Amino acid sequence: MSDLRHRIESASAPTLTRLAGLPKAVPFLVVLALVVGGFLIKGWGWLLLAIVAVLLGWFLYIAWPTLSAPGRMLRLAVIGITVAMTLTQAFPR
């Protein structure tokens, strides 16, 4: 394991432990609220979607070593869709 990965995992451990202690619906509802807010708030709502993309990227980085190839691809696709939604909100036609 690289030193960078070890440091990130160590720094993330308290937050992940706190998240794991929450009821399962709470993280889902927070992400749902951020996504809905990102679409409904004109102007700066894209920032909420960017927060979701960063959180998903962080979760993917932490879970990467334990995921199978299809699991990795699925999660990368979800992050890609989230980034695409963020960019379409940030730079509308």
Task: Among 1-5, 13-17, 31-35, 77-81, name the one with the lowest average pLDDT.
Answer: 1-5
What burial class does residue 54 get, using C-beta atoms within 10 Å of its C-beta: 0-12 exposed, 13-18 middle, 19+ buried? middle
pLDDT at 93: 84
Whether the pLDDT of residue 75 is over 90: the answer is: yes
pLDDT at 52: 97
pTM metric for this prediction: 0.90
pLDDT at 13: 94
Q: Which phi and psi angles does 34 have, rounded to 5°?
A: -65, -40
